[in-house]
Amino acid sequence: MTDDSVLRTAISVAILDAEQEYRRLLQSIVEVARAIFGAAASSIFLLDEAADELVFEAVAGEGEEFLVGRRFPASRGIAGWVLAAGQPLVLDDLAANPRFARDIAESTRYVPQALMAIPLICDEQPLGVLEVLDRAACGRALLDEMDLLELFARQAAAALRIVQRARVARRLFLDTGHGAADGTTDMVAVARMLDGAEPGRRSAGLHLLQSMRSLLDGATSNSDL
Q: Do residues 173 and 153 both lie within one domain?
A: no
> Which CATH number belongs to the domain containing residue 154 in this structure?
3.30.450.40
- Residue 52, CA distances (Å) to 37, 46, 80, 85, 102 in order: 30, 11, 10, 15, 20
Please report the pLDDT score of residue 109 as a whole number.
93
Is residue 225 over pLDDT 60? no
Is residue 155 over pLDDT 90? no
SS3 122: strand
Q: How confident is the model at residue 220 (pLDDT cuts 50, 70, 90)?
A: very low
Is residue 198 over pLDDT 70? no
Number of domains in the chain: 2
Please report the pLDDT score of residue 22 as a whole number.
76
Is residue 19 over pLDDT 80? no
Which one-letter DSSP state was computed for residue 135? P
SS3 126: strand
Alpha helices, H only, the chain: 3-37, 77-85, 102-107, 142-175, 184-193, 203-224
Asked if residue 42 lies in contact with residue 130, where contact means CB atoms within 8 angstroms, the answer is yes
Note the pLDDT tens digit of each residue in 86-114: 999 999 999 999 999 999 999 999 999 99
Mean model confidence pLDDT for the chain? 77
Please report the pLDDT score of residue 212 as a whole number.
46
**Residue-number span of the structural domain to which 124 is assigned:** 33-158
SS3 48: strand
- Of 131, 158, 185, the residue that ends a domain is 158
111 within some domain: yes
Note the pLDDT tens digit of each residue in 54-93: 999 999 999 999 999 999 999 999 999 999 999 999 999 9
SS3 110: coil
Q: Do residues 58 and 144 both lie within one domain?
A: yes
Q: Do residues 53 and 143 both lie within one domain?
A: yes
Q: Do residues 70 and 11 both lie within one domain?
A: no
24 within some domain: no
